[in-house]
Structure 1
Amino acid sequence: MEIREKLLKFRFHIVFAFVFSLLTFSLVTYSPGFLTVLSYFWPLLLSTALFLAAVLFFARTSGNFPATSSAAGEGSFAFKAAAEGILDYVVSGELEEPLLHTSFANLD
């Protein structure tokens, strides 16, 4: 009778372990192989790799990138100011009025 009481005490643990084992076994048995997944997603992986390579190439060859700037202070400041402006535009969805006014005033 003592074994039955202990089994009833841990019944949720036993059920959880059984369900977890069943799920693990079914995932291992019925999931596709690595090469199958790779053959399905290779265009996406290739295009992502080429895009990242292009970003790195343009980042290295661009003169405004802080790592390649000769003057550490002014290049990084210009890059940070441009990045903050883009971030403000993306987050708020609109540019600030003074910034728009100065942009259009410079066109004249």
Structure 2
Amino acid sequence: MSDSHLDQAVLASLQDVMGAEYPVLLDTFLVDSDERQRHILEACEAGDAQALRLAAHSFKGSCSNMGAPMLAVLCRQLEEAARRERLDEAPDLIEQIGREFAIVRILLKSERQRYR
């Protein structure tokens, strides 16, 4: 697993804390992330900078907690663009977030397979 996409130390810590519930945490993050990305897209399409900022902020925290540093950085950039009401920057950042999440999804599903 690539440390540039997932922080193994964070995952190990989550595994220690969560114990048998660790696979559930992985599953929940994946499902929750789809919902968060949907909120980001909807806010962008509506031109709602405040909703976009909040959605990006929320996803950033979730990504940080789950050890997805590159994804968290992209969300922070989107949050900042929305805070500055630079919605013209949002589509490219949202696309980058989608691509990075696709990689993280594959890596976390691989991680999840270890617990079947």
Specify which structure has the bigger relative contact order, considering alpha-carbon pairs within 8 angstroms and separated by 6 or more residues. 2
What TM-score does the superposition give when structure 2 sets the normalisation length?
Answer: 0.24
Q: Which entry has the higher C-alpha Rg, 1 or 2?
A: 1
